[in-house]
Chains A and B, each alone.
Chain A
Amino acid sequence: MQKKVIFRGTLLPIALLAPQLVVTVVFFFWPAGQAVYQSMLREDAFGLSSEFVGLENFREVLADPSWVHAALNTLVFSGCVAGLALGLALFLAVQADKSLRGATVYRSLLIWPYAVAPAVAAVLWLFLFQPQIGLIGRGLNAIGIPWDYRLNGTHAMILVIVAAAWKQLAYNFIFFLAGLQSIPASVLEAAAIDGARPARRFWTIIFPLLSPTTFFLLVVNLTYAFFETFGVIHALTGGGPAKATETLIYKVYIDGVENLNLGSSSAQSVILMVLVVLLTAFQFRAVEKKVHY
């Protein structure tokens, strides 16, 4: 039942597509092209002249120990954020899927964090974990755990991971809940009659049936942790202490905006761009192959 509308002439279709195309070109293709161009230039310290250096910037970036450090940070950070956000969201979704009193209220409340701006979320977590004024921060110190994310890199990493995961929790929760609700109740009842206890039902029936959802969310979460956590990190730790929470995307900002090393920063963002392209391609390929139940 496809209904195709065929336009006569080309003016109207172009006019209809134009707003979308303009937005894409101005805010994506143009800056992306600029980044690729910049990544092959080297500017002098005063920004008065620039020379073409080919792939020299890329070579320097990849050999730079601080970039490798940031890349490792990113791996740890992204892995933990995705793991934490997925695991917790799945747990909460399973709880919300039960027929509970006030389930709708509970579900709505769990969706709210998604509407909170990253910087606001960061401030919220700051109020909790700040060692002098934060509720939990003070509590930890009171019971003898020397908590200070401003001095301890591990603490800082934990804090940004928790804050970033919390932001993504709601999104994952919605998808998991929808996935759970699409599993027919009778299949779970059949498993119960077959003798499977709740834990076994979860791991042998629910979890495999959720795997397409889980995989989709894994890619989305990794993309989120890679590229969209700048705000949280910037507001909480500013990449510190001693670059302990500096991820690749944060280093792009530091090198480009603060250190004004435009060539290196552009090269880094081009590398990130390639990464996101690969990740997306991987996802599309996998989604095509994936069996849908």
Chain B
Amino acid sequence: MATLSLRDVRKSFNATQVLHGIELEVADGELVVIVGASGCGKSTLLRIVAGLETPTSGQVVISNRDVTGLEPADRDIAMVFQNYALYPHMSVFGNMAYGLKIRGLPRAEIEKRVQAAAEILGIGALLERKPKQLSGGQRQRVAMGRAIVREPALFLFDEPLSNLDAKLRVQMRAEIRRLQRRLGVTSLFVTHDQVEAMTLGDRLVVMNAGRPAQVAPPMEIFSRPADTYVAGFIGSPSMNFIPATLEEGGRAARLAEGSAIQFADGPRPGPAGMPLILGLRPEHIEPGDGPDSLPLAVELIEPLGSETVVHGRAPGGLAVTARLPGAFSGAVLPVQLPAGHLHVFDAGSGRRLDP
């Protein structure tokens, strides 16, 4: 049972700073997902926790023990790598037993633990095989098994699902979640896949250019994104951004082409004329004619079966994406922008503006 604290962790490679002071508290048994585009520093952060990289400054604390200066071996962690990193010359059993042998466990205990882990993962029949003779999904399980048998304080996952095909990925995703719940091991999971992040995490850390843009539970990240980056990153298709300015009194926003939207939940602070960015998720855009509806010139229709994604342009040339239930065809789509689903951001800083 363990907790993890990152205290002002910074990392520079020569002159390039990749992590700008990361603060994070992971509670015992929690699964925190670090999600971000490639190059945002998420893998570097995980490798710092593992001890494979040294932070330029800051502290890594596992269960109130400062491990910043310790070797990976002394941190009581286990890691699942993207390419599984199985030992190619050892059998499945050998792979899983390696860490236990090094710790000098008695042979009977090693066999017991490996058998138990293999049972949980359904790879009991494969123990004599070499990694080369396994499929991608099986290798993934062996890599997980190698982590489980160690009974570590902390699990680290470095994009473990990205080498699997789409179907297997969904299956393994659910399996990892179940396993983590069952074992109750504190875990850190790195991914670039927002669906993985949303479905797996108790909490998400959305990273942007070496800074945590938002740390919150998945649904909060979805419904109350902290800035335009998070808003655009989470959700598919991504959120529509509409430039606007704040009206006198802060109760409404005026769009570039002249119409105004009243805020449903109260006035925003700020001077009149302050530039804003309004965010609206494609699924919240409602089709329908009305006095203040926008006629979208349809550019592309993507039928997905149960719903249809329509890419169009508003009169001012602004690109708008709408997700409609059922099928759609036509050249013009009149839409309403429902004020109740509006996200308001400061155009200057990109930060969310709440009433």
Interface residues of A (CB under 8 A from B): 184, 186-187, 189-197, 200, 204-205, 208-209, 293
Count of B interface residues, CB-CB < 8 Å: 24
B56-101 at interface with A (beta carbon < 8 Å): 71-73, 77-79, 81-83, 85-89, 98-99
Whether the pair B132, A196 counts as a contact (CB closer than 8 A) is no
Give complex CA distance A209, B88 in Å: 8
**Contact of B107 with A by CB under 8 A:** no
Given A192-B52, A195-B99 in contact, is the A187-B73 Cβ separation under 8 Å?
no
Kindly provide the distance from the CB of B317 to the nearest chain A CB, expressed in whole angstroms: 47
Whether the pair B81, A186 counts as a contact (CB closer than 8 A) is yes
Give complex CA distance A205, B50 in Å: 20
**Contact of B343 with A by CB under 8 A:** no
Interface residues of B (CB under 8 A from A): 50-52, 71-73, 77-79, 81-83, 85-89, 98-99, 102-103, 132, 146, 150
Whether the pair A194, B89 counts as a contact (CB closer than 8 A) is no
Whether the pair B81, A192 counts as a contact (CB closer than 8 A) is no
Whether the pair B73, A196 counts as a contact (CB closer than 8 A) is yes
Whether the pair A187, B72 counts as a contact (CB closer than 8 A) is no
Q: Which chain A residue lies CB-closest to B73?
A: A195
List 5 additional A-B contacts (Cβ < 8 Å) besides A186-B81, A189-B85. A187-B88, A189-B52, A190-B86, A194-B73, A197-B73
Kindly provide the distance from the CB of A209 to the nearest chain B CB, expressed in whole angstroms: 6
3 tightest A-B CB contacts, nearest first: A194-B99, A186-B85, A190-B85
Given A193-B50, A194-B146 in contact, is the A187-B87 Cβ separation under 8 Å?
yes
A186 to chain B: which residues have CB within 8 Å? 81-83, 85
Best-surrounded residue of A193, A196, A197 (most CB of chain B within 10 A) = A193
A196 to chain B: which residues have CB within 8 Å? 73, 98, 102
Give complex CA distance A200, B99 in Å: 11
Kindly provide the distance from the CB of B37 to the nearest chain A CB, expressed in whole angstroms: 22
Query: Which one of B50, B71, B83, B150 lies within 8 Å of A184 (CB-CB)?
Result: B83
**Interface SS of chain B:** loop
B102 to chain A: which residues have CB within 8 Å? 194-196, 200
List 28 A–B pairs whose Cβ atoms lie within 8 Å, in order of A's numbering. Answer: A184-B83, A187-B85, A187-B86, A187-B87, A187-B88, A189-B50, A189-B85, A190-B81, A191-B87, A192-B52, A192-B73, A193-B51, A193-B72, A193-B73, A193-B79, A194-B78, A194-B98, A194-B150, A195-B103, A196-B73, A197-B73, A200-B102, A204-B98, A208-B89, A209-B88, A209-B89, A293-B88, A293-B89
Kindly provide the distance from the CB of B303 to the nearest chain A CB, expressed in whole angstroms: 38
Whether the pair A190, B132 counts as a contact (CB closer than 8 A) is no
Whether the pair B72, A192 counts as a contact (CB closer than 8 A) is yes
Q: Which chain A residue lies CB-closest to B158?
A: A186
B146 to chain A: which residues have CB within 8 Å? 190, 194
A193 to chain B: which residues have CB within 8 Å? 50-52, 72-73, 77-79, 99
Give complex CA distance A192, B74 in Å: 10
Give complex CA distance A293, B77 in Å: 27
Whether the pair B98, A191 counts as a contact (CB closer than 8 A) is yes
Give complex CA distance A200, B73 in Å: 12
Q: Which chain A residue lies CB-closest to B156?
A: A193
A197 to chain B: which residues have CB within 8 Å? 73
Kindly provide the distance from the CB of A208 to the nearest chain B CB, expressed in whole angstroms: 5
Kindly provide the distance from the CB of B107 to the nearest chain A CB, expressed in whole angstroms: 17
Give complex CA distance A200, B102 in Å: 9
Give complex CA distance A196, B150 in Å: 13
B103 to chain A: which residues have CB within 8 Å? 195
Give complex CA distance A107, B146 in Å: 36
Given A194-B102, A293-B132 in contact, is the A189-B72 Cβ separation under 8 Å?
yes
A194 to chain B: which residues have CB within 8 Å? 73, 78, 98-99, 102, 146, 150
A209 to chain B: which residues have CB within 8 Å? 88-89
Kindly provide the distance from the CB of B123 to the nearest chain A CB, expressed in whole angstroms: 17
Give complex CA distance A192, B99 in Å: 9
Kindly provide the distance from the CB of B148 to the nearest chain A CB, expressed in whole angstroms: 13
Kindly provide the distance from the CB of B14 to the nearest chain A CB, expressed in whole angstroms: 13
Give complex CA distance A194, B77 in Å: 8
B87 to chain A: which residues have CB within 8 Å? 187, 190-191, 205
Kindly provide the distance from the CB of A292 to the nearest chain B CB, expressed in whole angstroms: 9
Kindly provide the distance from the CB of A112 to the nearest chain B CB, expressed in whole angstroms: 31
Whether the pair A184, B132 counts as a contact (CB closer than 8 A) is no
Q: Which chain A residue lies CB-closest to B50?
A: A193
Kindly provide the distance from the CB of A228 to the nearest chain B CB, expressed in whole angstroms: 32
Kindly provide the distance from the CB of A191 to the nearest chain B CB, expressed in whole angstroms: 7
Give complex CA distance A194, B143 in Å: 12
Q: Which chain B residue lies CB-closest to A205?
A: B87
Give complex CA distance A293, B87 in Å: 10
A195 to chain B: which residues have CB within 8 Å? 73, 99, 102-103
Give complex CA distance A293, B133 in Å: 11
